Structure 1
Amino acid sequence: MAEALLWPILEQLSAVVAQQVQEEVNLVWGVQKQLGKLKSNLLSIQSVLEDADRKQVKDKAVRDWVYKLKDVCYDVDDVLDEWSTAIDRWKMEEGEENTRSRQKMRCVVQLRDIALKIKEVCEKVDDIAKERAMYGFYLCSATDEVQRPTSTFFVDESSVIGRDGEREAVVSKLVGESSPEAPDVYVISLVGLGGIGKTTLAQLAFNDAEVTAHFEKKIWVCVSDPFDEVKIAKAILEELEGRASDLVGLQSLLRRVSESITGKRLLLVLDDVWTENHGQWEKLKPSLTGCARGSRILVTTRKDAVASMMGSTDHRINIKEVSNEICRSIFNHVAFQERSKDERQRLTDIGDKIANKCKGLPLAA
C-alpha cells in the first residue's frame, strides 16, 4: 500500500520542516516554502488513498496513478535524506572557526543543488495531487466515520522476524514485581510510528506463556479512533463475562466492570489509542483500579502525548525501526515465498533495494 510509504515520509518531512536553518538559506532557495507545499500535497493525497486502494483493483488508470505515487515517494525520501545530511554538515562547517572558505562554499553549492532537486520533486508531487481529481476519489475527511482495521490478540508467531529484545522487555514489564510505592495497576505504553510493529509486539506479549500464567484474566480491546467509552466498556465486560452485555449506559457498564475485576490480577490491552483527551480516559480509569496487585494495562499508540496523558511516563517503551537486514528478511519472506530458486537469485538485488527504502518499518516491508 502506498499509505505505508507515506507514513514515514510525512514523519520525516515534519522533522525537516522544523529544522532551524539560517535565514539566508531559506531566502535564497525558498526550501522551507517548497517543503511546506510538499507536505500539504502529500496530506491531500493521503486523504484519498483508502479509496484509491479500493479502485485500483479494477481500474488500470488508478493503478498507474498509485504506482506513479509510489515512485515519487522514493524520490522524496531520497531528497529529504540528502537535505538533512547536507544541513547538518553545513551547520557543522558554520560552527568551525577554522573551516576554510572553500569548504563552506562546497557546502553551499551542495545545498543549492539539493534545493533544485527538492523543487523538481515538489513539481512531480504537485502534478500527482492535481491528477487525483480525474478519478473522483472519495475524500476521507476528519468528520467521516472511517473504520480503521480492527486488531485481535491472534498472531502468527512464525511470520514475525526480529523484535526479540523488545518482546522480552515488554514481558518483563508485564510480569515483573511492582515496587512497594507503585499502584496495584499501572499503565505501560508501546509508542512508535505507524507500521512499526506495536500491535504485533503487544500480541506476542499477550500470548506469551509466562504472561498467560501470571494473570488471572487477559482482555484485548482495539480502541482506535474515535475513542468510544461505551464501546470499550462493553468490550471489556464481554470478555470478562463471556457474553454480550445488555447494559447500555456507561455508568452501569463501568459499575459491572469494576465488580467483575475486583481482586483479580488483570492484563488489559488497549490497542491503537489516539485520543489525547484526558477527560475520556478519566471516565474509564476509576473502574479499573480495583484489580489485584500486579495488574497491568498495556497501551499501543503513535503519540507521545497519549502515553503521558495515560500516566505511563515511567513505564514506556519506545519502539524503534528495525535494521535494514531485518527489513530485507521480512520483505524476502513475503516476496519470495512461492518463487523458484532462479527467480529469487535474479530478483534479490532489486528486493534488497526496495526493502532498504522501507526505513525500518515492518509493515512497509
Structure 2
Amino acid sequence: MADFVLSFVVDAALSRVVSLITDEIILAWNLKDDLKGLQESLTMIRAVLQDTEEQQTTREPVRLWLKKLQEAAYDAEDVFDELANENLRRKVEMQDQSGREDRVTDSVLDNPVVGREADVAKIVDLLSCSSDQQVFTIVPIVGMGGLGKTALAKLVCEEVIAKRLYDLKIWVCVSDNFDDQRILGEMLQTLNANMGGLTNKDAILQELEKALEGKNFILVLDDVWKDVVTRWDDIKIRLEKISNNNGNAIVVTTRSEEVASKVETSTSYRHKLNLLSDDECWSIVKERALGNGPLNPLDSNFEAIGKETAKKCRGVPLAAIVLGGTMGFNRDKNAWL
C-alpha cells in the first residue's frame, strides 16, 4: 500500500500551490507559470500514488521509489515554508511603507505545536547552562522532514529572548545554498534592513561587527543540507571574528546526522527530534478539524474514529496537520474512516 503519510503530504503541497498561484506577490514575482507546472506534476504524482495503493504493491523497487518521493515531498514543504515566509516578509514591508498597522502572523506557528514542551525546555536549558568562556554554543536539531524542526527552533527563540538570555535573534533559511556571503548578508539585513544591498564580503563583516558590538545573539540556521560539511569551518571562523562577546548561540536545523556531527559543540548538545505519540497526533488532528469556531464537540463515535485515524500519521506532525485540515471539511463519519 502506498505510504499514507506521503499521500497527505502531496495533497498538502497541491493545496499550497493552488493557494500561492492566486497571491498578488507571487504574480508580481512571475512565478505563476512555474507553480502551475508544479501543480501538474503533483497531480500526476498523486495519480501514481493512488494507482500504487490500489495495486497494493510490495515490490522493493517501488517501495524505494516511494521513499525517495516522500523525501522530495518533504523538501517541497520546506520550499513552500521558505516561500511563505518571504511572502510574509514582503507583505510586512509593504504594510510598513503604506503606514498601516496590520499584523501578519508567522505561518510556521499558525499550526498547532503539540508535544514539544520537553524539547523546548531541554534546548533552552542547554543554552542557559552553556559556558560564557566560549564564543558560541552550537545546538543542532536533527530529524526527518515533517517533524517540526523549524517550529521548534522558533519556540526556542521566543523562550530565550523572553528570558533575556540573548539581546538579538537572527534567522537565516539556508536550504541547499550554503553560501557564506549570502548567509552573512541575510544576517546583516535582519539587523539593519538598510544594509541589504551590500555585496562586498569584507564590508558585510565590518557592518555585522558594528551591529553586534556589545550584544549577545542567537543565530538560527534553518534547514541546513549536507553541503555545509565542507564549508562549515570557514563561516564559523568568520562568525567568531565578528562576535565581540562570548556566550552567543547557534541553532542548526537539519535532517542530516552528518551535518549535526560537524556543527555541534559536542555530542551532548545534539538534539534529536522524535516522533509524536498517537495521542499527540490526535490532539493536532482534532485542533485542525474543529478549528477555533463555535462548533459542537465531537461525539464518542467521532472521537473513536478520529483517534484510530490519527495513528496513520505515524507520529509525524505535518501529516496530522494535513489530516486534521482534511477531516475538518467533512463531518460525515464515513469520510473520517
The answer to whether TM tops 0.5 is yes
State whether residues 268 and 298 of structure 1, in contact with CA within 8 Å, keep that contact through their aligned partners in structure 2: yes
1:303 aligned partner: 256
Q: Deviations over 1:322-356 (max 9, x none)?
A: 11110011111112335954765453333223310
The answer to whether residue 128 in structure 2 is matched with residue 196 in structure 1 is no
Q: How far has the Cα of 1:158 moved from its partner?
A: 8.5
Name 1:358's counterpart in structure 2: 313
Letter of the 1:298 counterpart? V
TM-score by length of 1: 0.60
Corresponding residue number in structure 2 for 1:12: none
Q: Tell me, which stretches of 5 or more residues in structure 1 are unaligned?
A: 10-45, 77-116, 130-138
Match of 2:5 in 1: 5
Amino acid at match of 2:165: H
**Cα offset for 1:253?**
1.9
CA distance in 2 between partners of 1:273 and 1:119 (Å): 33
Residues in 1 aligned to 2:44 and 2:197: alpha-carbon distance in whole angstroms? 49
Distance 1:215 1:294 in 2: 9
Matched residues in 2 for 1:312 and 1:249: separation? Answer: 30
Aligned to 1:118: 58
Which residue does 1:330 correspond to in 2?
Answer: 284
Partner of 1:238: 189
Identity of aligned residues (%): 28
Q: Which residue of 2 aligns with 1:66?
A: 46
2:179 aligned partner: 228
Tell me the CA shift for residue 265 of structure 1.
1.1
Partners of 2:217 and 2:248 within 8 A in 1? yes
Letter in 2 for 1:336: L
Q: Determine helix, strand or coil for the equivalent of 1:226.
A: coil
With 148-157 and 234-243 compared, the bigger mean Cα shift is at: 148-157
Range moving further from structure 2, 327-336 or 209-218? 209-218
Equivalent residue number for residue 149 of structure 1 = 81
TM-score, normalised to structure 2's length?
0.64
Match of 2:205 in 1: 254
Alpha-carbon spacing, 1:323–1:50, altered in 2? closer, same or farther (3 Å): closer
Indicate which of 270, 276, 289 corresponds to 2:227: 276
| Aligned equivalent of 1:318 | 272
Give the match for residue 129 of structure 2: 176
What residue identity is the alignment partner of 1:322?
A: L
1:197 to partner: Cα distance: 1.4
Per-residue Cα deviation, 1:13-56 (whole angstroms, up to 9, x for no partner): xxxxxxxxxxxxxxxxxxxxxxxxxxxxxxxxx8xx96797479
Instruction: Tell me the number of residue pairs that the alignment of Structure 1 and Structure 2 aligns.
Output: 269
1:152-195 deviations in Å (ceiling 9; x for gaps): 89464883222111110111122224175xx2213111111111
Instruction: Tell me what 1:214 maps to.
Output: 165
Distance 2:255 2:8 in 1: 12
Aligned-partner residue type, residue 161 of structure 1: V
Partner of 2:137: 186
Instruction: Work out the CA distance in 1 between the residues paired with 2:55 and 2:157.
Output: 39
Q: Which residue of 1 aligns with 2:303?
A: 348
Name the structure 2 match of 1:267.
Answer: 218
What is the one-letter code of the residue matched to 2:316? L
Structure 1 runs (4+) greater than 6 angstroms displaced? 55-60, 73-76
Summarize the Cα distance change of 1:269–1:65 in structure 2 as closer, same or farther, 3 Å threshold: closer
Change (3 A) 1:242 1:54: closer
Deviates more, 1:194-203 or 1:219-228: 219-228
Check conservation: 1:205, 1:211, Cα contact below 8 A.
no
Q: Does the 8 A contact of 1:258 with 1:288 survive in 2?
A: no
**Alignment-derived partner of residue 13 in structure 1:** none
Q: Contact 1:170–1:205 (CA<8 Å) still a contact in 2?
A: yes
1:233–1:161 distance in 2 versus 1, CA, 3 Å: same
SS at match of 2:231: helix
Task: Please list the CA deviations of residues 189-224 of structure 1 after superposition, one character each: whole Å capped at 9, or x if unmatched.
Answer: 111111111111111111116655121221111111
User: In 1, distance between residues paired with 2:270 and 2:216?
Assistant: 21
> Which one-letter code corresponds to 1:224 in the other structure?
S
Relative distance call for 1:235 and 1:73 in structure 2 (3 A) is farther
Structure 1 Cα separation of the partners of residues 8 and 143 of structure 2:
11
